[in-house]
């Protein structure tokens, strides 16, 4: 039990440290990331852009990303949160006013992070360049979840692991593999 107690203390210290970041960039970028990531708007927007500008590859990547995001959210929010029922970090760890504006749902795992990573990893299977662009916003969303006091770092790490698993599952999905193969065959036939 000592290991769990020590891990909990590390989690609390990291939360306190990240929540204290006050640089102008932090005050500008993190709230914008929070707004964009709410209701997965950021990822739906990224999928729309990919589908609009990426041709067949973009549409395949968009579908893969949306499915990866959906699977990650289902596992994190529909399965893990009800099972774990972990409380959000206490207000005394968060030295800024944003702590009062956080969800009432359980803290573990971070659904926002799971969605971001699930989307990005799934997209990487169809369009690695687009996934590389999505990596930075996904990381910023993960940091914002700790900075705002919505999650402990371990919640974010668990959300990232769930997203990774969901994205990899989608990348190996037979339906998406068929879409990818059809796109390649069409490209070879058309030129």
pLDDT, position 93: 75
**For 2-190, which CATH class?**
mainly alpha
Q: For the chain, state the CA radius of gyration.
A: 18
Tens digits of pLDDT across the chain (191 residues): 456 677 778 888 888 888 877 788 877 887 778 777 878 899 999 999 999 999 988 998 998 999 999 999 999 999 999 998 888 887 877 776 665 566 778 889 999 999 999 999 999 998 999 999 999 999 999 998 888 888 889 999 999 999 999 999 988 875 665 566 666 666 766 65
Q: Delimit the domains of the chain by residue range.
A: 2-190
pLDDT, position 171: 83
Which pTM does this prediction carry? 0.84
The encoded tokens of residue 106 equal 């359980």
């Amino acid at each position: 039990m000592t290991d769990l107690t020590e891990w909990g203390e590390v989690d609390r210290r990291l939360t306190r440290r990240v929540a204290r970041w006050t640089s102008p960039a932090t005050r500008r970028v993190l709230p914008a990331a929070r707004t964009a990531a709410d209701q997965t708007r950021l990822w739906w927007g990224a999928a729309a852009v990919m589908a609009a500008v990426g041709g067949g590859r973009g549409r395949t990547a968009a579908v893969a990303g949306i499915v990866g995001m959906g699977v990650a959210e289902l596992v994190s929010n529909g399965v893990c949160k009800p099972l774990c029922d972990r409380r959000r970090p206490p207000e005394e760890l968060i030295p800024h006013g944003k702590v009062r504006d956080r969800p009432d749902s359980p803290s573990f795992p971070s659904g926002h992070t799971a969605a971001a990573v699930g989307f990005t990893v799934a997209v990487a299977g169809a369009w690695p360049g687009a996934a590389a662009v999505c990596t930075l916003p996904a990381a910023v969303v993960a940091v914002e979840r700790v900075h705002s006091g919505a999650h402990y770092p371990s919640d974010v790490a668990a959300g990232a692991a769930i997203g990774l698993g969901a994205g990899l599952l989608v990348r190996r999905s037979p339906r998406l593999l068929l879409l990818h193969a059809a796109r390649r065959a069409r490209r070879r036939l058309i030129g």
